[in-house]
Amino acid sequence: MSGNGDNKNTVVILSACPVSEKMKAYIPQGAYLIACDAGYRNAQRLELIPDLVVGDFDSAPQPQEKNLVILPHEKDDTDTQYAARLALERKAEKVIILGGLGGTRLEHTLANLATGLWLEKQGVSAILANEESRIHFLIPGKDLVLSRENWKYLSVLPLEGEMTGVDIQGAYYPLENARLTSDYPLGVSNEFAAERVMLRCHKGGGAVILTNTD
């Protein structure tokens, strides 16, 4: 990939969960591509050349790449979080994380959700996606407008204990000044009632999950 072009402020992070050919649609021309640890295998499978490969390579052999950043095994950041920090250093306006959902390590999926929320709080538009779902992040002071496209379900789940002042307009189950908590999934499995849904919250942060299958 090249750092030049209309998408030069977009960074795509390839993590370790399998990324199919179909998911290449999420990778815009000109985006800066970072492969994390075993994520370089996704790049090879999709015939993409990463601009940078980072990781401690505990889940895959260390590749023979010139543009390689080797991280220590003992560190605070996950490989994906480290890549997110690099994206922020590049002044990215949008970060798309592929290969960060699913797999056998549930804790890594939860960690990647935390990374997405962290990016959103830094002023970066963050997306996590796989073939069935796309995840956005809702934080105070930043309204989120999503199009129906082919999505079947829309769910809103808090990631910080609770979200207050939650408004959802254009959905089958609208909300106004609602309170969502981590111990009761009130916001799950909503649906589009209009071509666009608008979401906002006053306090807290959460994940907005679009799903196209049961």
Over residues 138-167, the pLDDT tens digits come to 999 999 999 999 999 999 999 999 999 999
The residue ranges of DSSP E strands in the chain, in sequence order, are: 10-14, 32-36, 52-55, 68-70, 94-98, 125-129, 133-138, 144-147, 153-158, 162-169, 175-181, 196-200, 206-211
Nearest in space to 131 (alpha carbons), one of 28, 20, 46:
20
**pLDDT at residue 4, as a whole number:** 39
pLDDT score for 5? 46
Q: Which ranges of the chain have pLDDT less than 50?
A: 1-5
Give Cβ neighbours of residue 15 (< 8 Å, ≥ 6 apart).
Answer: 36, 37, 38, 39, 42, 79, 80, 97, 98, 99, 100, 108, 112
Any alpha helices (H) in 37-105, and if so which ranges?
39-45, 79-89
pLDDT of residue 75: 78
CB-based contacts of 118-121 (< 8 A; 24+ apart in sequence) = 118/81, 118/84, 119/84, 119/87, 119/88, 119/95, 120/205, 121/205
Q: What is the pLDDT of residue 2?
A: 39
Going along the chain from its start, the domains and CATH numbers come out as 10-131 (3.40.50.10240), 137-211 (2.60.120.320)
